Structure 1
């Protein structure tokens, strides 16, 4: 088995009304999140952000568009014990690079790694997501729009 790198991206997607897209994980019905994913070998965090948005939502954006904003924020957190087997034996901490992007509320979402999605108001999204770093990113980087 090839181990995952303990470096990832978190990409918060929001629409023109300030609603946040949250997705329910296939493997845990209580785990809602924004787009996340491992940075592949040789890949820059921003490249991973574009790739992961495309893979998890079907929304393909060209990196040269500059649509995805680097929030200039990095989180470090303990890898969930039940997921540690996916990482090298000495990996206990994950480094997460935070990004945000506004997409249209009528964009077609095609889920590949999640069982459901919802557009919800910012406070609701922050309350529903499982990860504290995801919650903080929603509160800090989703602008108040209406």
Structure 2
């Protein structure tokens, strides 16, 4: 990378943040018009457990603490492997074209305003799970929203 930053690790998390009544938080990417998504992010190190990546990314992107009262982070035990979009491949080491993504759900007590990192996201909204799926730009994110009812306690 020309910026001197280390390359991204092609192992990431997708965290669907939702309320008990299946309202899903979507956040709008700052670097892509009209791209709404759940929390996503890559591991900081190869040995970082996915659960720690999920907790860190939720905190960095929303200000929500997964261990706060009424919150519950669940590893869905599912992974997606997908091609990294060409416009974002420069963030990865030369020749890296695929990413492995682990899916999580985070139950929060109520829909609430979150603290966005303005370098990453510019808007937020809570939608019923089916509507959230319709708004996701990523097919794997949409599918995760549609699977949400299967992973409720």
Q: Please tell me the root mean square deviation across aligned C-alpha atoms, in Å.
A: 2.0
Partners of 1:13 and 1:21 within 8 A in 2: yes
Question: Unpaired segments of 5 or more residues in structure 1?
Answer: none
C-alpha deviation, 1:141, in angstroms: 2.2
Q: TM-score, normalised by structure 2?
A: 0.87
Identify which range, 132-141 or 73-82, moves more after superposition: 132-141
5+ residue gaps, structure 2, are: none
- State the alpha-carbon separation in 2 of the partners of residues 144 and 9 from structure 1: 16
Q: Distance in 1 between matches of 2:11 and 2:147?
A: 21
The alignment partner of 2:88 has SS state of helix
* Regions of 4+ moved over 2 Å: 104-108, 141-145
After superposition, the Cα gap between the structure-2 partners of 1:56 and 1:81, relative to the gap in structure 1 and judged at 3 Å, is same
What TM-score do you get using the length of structure 1 for normalisation? 0.91
Counterpart for residue 15 of structure 1: 19
Structure 2 SS opposite 1:3: coil
The number of aligned residues is: 144
Residue pairs, 1:69-84, within 5 angstroms: 69-84=74-89
Partner of 2:147: 140
CA distance in structure 1 between the partners assigned to 2:113 and 2:136 by the alignment: 22
